[in-house]
A and B are shown apart, each in its own frame.
Chain A
Amino acid sequence: MTFATLRLRHGLMAAAVAVALVAAGPAWAWYLDPVTPVAHEVRTLFFKALALTGGFFILAEVLVLVAVLRFRARPGVPPATFHENVRLEILWTAIPAITLVILAGPTFTTLKYMETVPKSDLTVEVIGHQWFWEYRYPEHGVVFANEPLVVPQGKIIAADVSSIDVVHSWFVADFGVKMDANPGRVNHTWFEVERTGTFRGQCAELCGVLHGDMHIEVRVVTPEEFDRWIEQKKRGA
């Protein structure tokens, strides 16, 4: 192995890392655009996890790289002979364990927050079919399928999710909401969208041939606009 090929290889490795990092930038930025309180919480938790685990990750990768670069076999330089160090081993068991205990705290509070069921302003029944979604507004007597879900901005929406045939999953990434639609069961989730707009999602549990076409579209409108829309729907039905 010549020095030139070595350099080439490390160059390649560095390039791959750089490309990945540069490429990662916009993805994270795009990702950081939560529109519900739960999504905010999830992203905050994710950053805590990233901060707590990132140190170990970088340390491990750097140590591996340094070891490979520094401790190459050279004539006349014998390898070290150490092969245990109880104190070190206790340390690298204890420190990650403590870190995880620290991480468990915000996980628990975020989980509790997601699971608390606030008094809802609007109930939506979400029913998965092969391969479309049926939405019902029981308080308004409105039922439709294959159309965007329309909800008012700034209101707490209770979503009760179920399925008529196989397992589906109602998933809108920007809301931080994913709930399996199990036949014979009902699952409860909630969301409160902070701003108006159209948000896209998709069925997230393999449900047969056209699983990839089972889109979700949620139109978030002002409460006034929602009232007009629902009245129109009632008349239309």
Chain B
Amino acid sequence: MKRPSNALLGIGICAVVLLMFSFAYANVPLFKLFCQRFGIGGSAQAGSKEETWEQSSATGPMSDRTVQVKFMGIAASGLPVRFGPSEPTVEAQIGKPVHLEYTFTNMSDDSVFFRAVHSIAPVEAAREFQLMQCFCFDDQALGPRQSITLPVYFALSPRTPPNVNELMLSYQLFPRDPHRALPVPAKEAN
């Protein structure tokens, strides 16, 4: 009966423990990747993916199916920004890029800094949603009472599941300055 020494076995097990500890951290980038790949949590495919579309459009004609896209906007408590799209809803043709303007207005007399986080529901549509240009890719700043208009380009891939008839593109604005005062009672965005 040949058994490894206690110390050797113990060290081997410690390696397992360290491995699992780092596995937790490895999940931070992995989870992000996974979410983007599978659209979990409504993260869209960021950036242009024309090449994959050409492949799929080569196998079949681009459909004239449309999906209604709705928009939702939430500003974090205490962020005095009103924002909304140029149109309340869009009938997006599958495979055809959609252009949209979002207008942001600073309602306060101070400068504001914020970042928009986007999300798409339902999940199975999110993975086929291609966000090509978006203000949510960068931090944004608004001077006192300033109003700006920023473009959004997106398109739905031909693989959008047939049971998806409508989807929601939501933006939530979060203040970027970490030293902001704590939230005051909510103000409605939009």
Establish whether A and B are touching in the complex (CB under 8 Å): yes
Provide the bound-state CA to CA distance between A164 and B78, in Å.
Answer: 11
Q: Check: A143 CB closer than 8 A to any chain B CB.
A: yes
Given contacts A117-B163, A123-B70, A162-B170, contact A184 B119 (CB under 8 A): yes
Provide the bound-state CA to CA distance between A8 and B78, in Å.
Answer: 66
| Interface-side segment among A17-25, A50-58, A90-98, A133-141 | A133-141
User: A186 and B163: CB pair below 8 A?
Assistant: no
Chain B contact residues, CB within 8 Å of chain A: 41-42, 68, 70-72, 74, 76-77, 88-89, 117, 119-122, 124, 163-168, 170, 172, 174, 183, 186, 188, 190
Given contacts A184-B117, A188-B121, contact A162 B165 (CB under 8 A): no
Q: Check: A225 CB closer than 8 A to any chain B CB.
A: no
User: B166 and A120: CB pair below 8 A?
Assistant: yes
Provide the bound-state CA to CA distance between A78 and B122, in Å.
Answer: 65
Note all chain B residues with C-beta closer than 8 A to A120: 166
Q: Check: A233 CB closer than 8 A to any chain B CB.
A: no
Chain A contacts with B in 156-214, Cβ cutoff 8 A: 158, 160, 162, 164-165, 182-188
Q: Check: A125 CB closer than 8 A to any chain B CB.
A: yes
20 A–B contact pairs at CB < 8 A? A116-B163, A117-B163, A117-B164, A117-B165, A119-B68, A127-B74, A129-B77, A134-B186, A136-B72, A139-B88, A162-B72, A162-B119, A162-B170, A184-B119, A185-B42, A185-B119, A185-B170, A186-B42, A186-B121, A188-B121
Note all chain B residues with C-beta closer than 8 A to A134: 186, 188
User: B183 and A165: CB pair below 8 A?
Assistant: yes
Provide the bound-state CA to CA distance between A75 and B188, in Å.
Answer: 80
Note all chain A residues with C-beta closer than 8 A to B76: 164
Note all chain A residues with C-beta closer than 8 A to B186: 129, 134, 145, 164
Q: Check: A115 CB closer than 8 A to any chain B CB.
A: yes
Provide the bound-state CA to CA distance between A185 and B169, in Å.
Answer: 10
Q: Check: A118 CB closer than 8 A to any chain B CB.
A: yes
Chain A contact residues, CB within 8 Å of chain B: 115-120, 123, 125, 127, 129, 134, 136, 138-139, 143, 145, 158, 160, 162, 164-165, 182-188
Provide the bound-state CA to CA distance between A123 and B167, in Å.
Answer: 11
Note all chain A residues with C-beta closer than 8 A to B119: 162, 184-186
| Whole-angstrom distance between the Cβ of B46 and the nearest chain A Cβ | 15
User: A186 and B120: CB pair below 8 A?
Assistant: yes
Known: A186-B120, A186-B170. 19 other contacts (CB 8 A): A115-B163, A119-B68, A119-B165, A125-B72, A136-B72, A136-B190, A139-B89, A160-B72, A160-B121, A162-B72, A162-B74, A162-B170, A164-B172, A182-B41, A184-B172, A184-B174, A186-B121, A187-B42, A188-B167
Note all chain B residues with C-beta closer than 8 A to A145: 186
Provide the bound-state CA to CA distance between A123 and B190, in Å.
Answer: 15
Provide the bound-state CA to CA distance between A155 and B89, in Å.
Answer: 19
> Smallest CB-CB separation from A179: which chain B residue?
B121
> Smallest CB-CB separation from A163: which chain B residue?
B74
| Whole-angstrom distance between the Cβ of B31 and the nearest chain A Cβ | 13
Scoring B41, B76, B122, B188 by chain A CB atoms within 10 A of each residue's CB, the highest score goes to B122
User: A138 and B163: CB pair below 8 A?
Assistant: no
Among B41, B166, B170, contact of A117 (Cβ-Cβ < 8 Å): B166
Provide the bound-state CA to CA distance between A158 and B168, in Å.
Answer: 10
Note all chain B residues with C-beta closer than 8 A to A125: 72
| Whole-angstrom distance between the Cβ of A23 and the nearest chain B Cβ | 40
Provide the bound-state CA to CA distance between A127 and B89, in Å.
Answer: 19
Provide the bound-state CA to CA distance between A158 and B74, in Å.
Answer: 18
Scoring A160, A162, A188 by chain B CB atoms within 10 A of each residue's CB, the highest score goes to A188
Provide the bound-state CA to CA distance between A22 and B42, in Å.
Answer: 46
User: B70 and A183: CB pair below 8 A?
Assistant: no
| Whole-angstrom distance between the Cβ of A78 and the nearest chain B Cβ | 37
Note all chain A residues with C-beta closer than 8 A to B70: 123, 138, 160
Provide the bound-state CA to CA distance between A28 and B44, in Å.
Answer: 42
